[in-house]
Amino acid sequence: MRAQISVALDSELSQLERAMVNVHLARCAECRAYEVEVAAFTHALREAPLERTASLTVRRLPRRATLRAVPAVAAGLMIAVAGVATQLASNQARDAGSERLAAPRQFPTQSELERELSLLEIASGADGGKLGGPQETVR
């Protein structure tokens, strides 16, 4: 709503949008206070005399040098983005894998729980009890 209030101060809202803002302002004291504060600031800024600035000299590079640098900069940015994306995807995959292992298992029925426990006992007996650590079960 604050963005709409700001746009309304520049008279850039449609009649419907302005009506919606007015309805909200009628109900919301916090937004009314914000509108008063921003309107006062905007009015003071628009009424203030223009300040003279120091003259600036802008030097431009020759056009050829600028055009040659653009593909190199673009290629460097693409490599950087690809590297960051690869790192993020790698971290998410690793985190997702560890969450799957650590998540407690839930079984809808007691018989399914017992069946899973018997399978785990069989598997742990077959490999000497090295199943990857105990897993929490929820009954």
pLDDT in tens, 11-24: 888 999 999 999 99
Residue (of 19, 27, 25) closest to 38 by Cα position: 25
In angstroms, the CA 105 to CA 114 distance is 13
pLDDT band at 131; cut points 50, 70, 90: very low
Mean pLDDT of 43-66: 78
Phi, psi of 106 (to 5 degrees): -120, 135
In angstroms, the CA 79 to CA 32 distance is 48
Plot region of 129 (φ>0 → left; ψ -120 to 50 → alpha; else → beta): left
What are the sequence ranges of the domains in the chain?
A: 2-47, 84-127
Amino acid sitting at position 43: H
